[in-house]
Amino acid sequence: MTRIVYCNGEYLPEAEAKVSIFDRGFLMADGVYEVTSVIGGKLIDFDGHAKRLERSLSELEMRNPVSMDELLQIHRDLIEKNALVEGGIYLQITRGAPSDRDFAWPNPDEVKGGLVLFTFAKNLVEMPSVKTGIKVISIEDIRWGRRDIKTVQLLYPSWGKMMAKKKGCDDAWMVEDGFVTEGTSNNAYIVKGNKIITRGLSNDILHGITRAAILRFAAEAQMEVEERNFTIAEAQEADEAFITSATTFVQPVVEIDGAKIGEGVPGKLSLRLREIYIEESLKSAV
Ligand code: PDD
């Protein structure tokens, strides 16, 4: 089955979808994105992703080429056209394609933003890595200072993932001034006893939509939550560690820089939290 994607107002077979070489997303990483997960053909936390998208756009003085209602409809159309049951939808808005390359931003009244969306199928509920846990390495966080904006400039996170792979690991946790910021494409947590520790929100990390839900569900389940900085050394001594994102939900981390976390197997609290997340977020899926 050929995948049908959305490209600047049209639904097209993926091979027919084209964007201009002058698109600023392509030339300057001048674009923002969202990834929303789909389970049972329904969108998980669409509202959360829509709000963060609006914030990313407004921070960069970009316009949404369509309304949020239209955006929800496009998500739904793509799920239907591709008979997507489980996986996600990638959405990208760029500052559009002016007639040439220019550092100055084009006038938004003259150049409309670019909008593309595509689906991807992926098993999210049953993931083998949940049973084994993942291994991470630590790397210096040398990204720019506005990581709260979900931009498409992902070269360093993608490079970090490769550094991890070269060492036989799955992902990298980034460290700035001695403290963990986040994973290359996820938020990072450690667990001590009944307490979940994760870095507080600021411009230093992406404000994960899964993170917000997890912290809410954890508090409801009488788990303690502490939002503060932690080091790699503290993480290596923790009882459990895990990551969260729309494409992984909760994934246990069993090794950091070669040191086993706890017994070196997925932690009980992390797995419980994963179950709660899937159960609860399905209730508000649209
Ligand atoms: N990444 N931190 C970073 C740097 C991320 O790229 C992501 C998401 C997260 C988690 O955010 P959320 O819970 O809203 O997915 C944290 C997406 C999944 C990606 O780039 O594919």
Buried b (16+ CB within 10 A) or exposed e, 164-198: beeeebbbbbbebeebbbbbbbbbbbbbeeeebbb
Instruction: Evaluate: CB of 245 within 6 angstroms of ligand 1.
Output: yes
Query: What global pTM score does this model have?
Result: 0.97
Residue 35 Cβ contacting ligand 1 at under 6 Å: yes
150 catalytic per annotation: yes
Select which of 51, 122, 135, 150 is catalytic.
150
Among 3.20.20.70, 2.40.30.10, 3.40.50.800, 3.20.10.10, what is the CATH number of 128-283?
3.20.10.10
Per the DSSP assignment, residues forming a β-bridge with 77 are none
Residues of the chain within CATH 3.20.10.10 domain(s) are 128-283
Q: Please state, in angstroms and rounded to a whole number, the distance separating the CA atoms of residues 10 and 115.
A: 10
For each of the chain's 286 residues, which pLDDT tens digit applies?
Answer: 899 999 999 999 999 999 999 999 999 999 999 999 999 999 999 999 999 999 999 999 999 999 999 999 999 999 999 999 999 999 999 999 999 999 999 999 999 999 999 999 999 999 999 999 999 999 999 999 999 999 999 999 999 999 999 999 999 999 999 999 999 999 999 999 999 999 999 999 999 999 999 999 999 999 999 999 999 999 999 999 999 999 999 999 999 999 999 999 999 999 999 999 999 999 999 9
CA neighbours closer than 13 Å in the CB half-sphere of residue 189: 32
Question: According to CATH, where is 3.30.470.10 located in the chain?
Answer: 4-121
- How is residue 99 written in tokens? 């007639």
Ligand 1 midpoint to CA 35 (Å)? 8
In a 3-state reduction of DSSP, which class is residue 236?
Answer: helix
H/E run at residue 264: none
Q: Which CATH architecture has domain 4-121?
A: 2-Layer Sandwich (3.30)
Q: Kindly report the protein residue whose alpha carbon is nearest to atom 20 of ligand 1.
A: 185
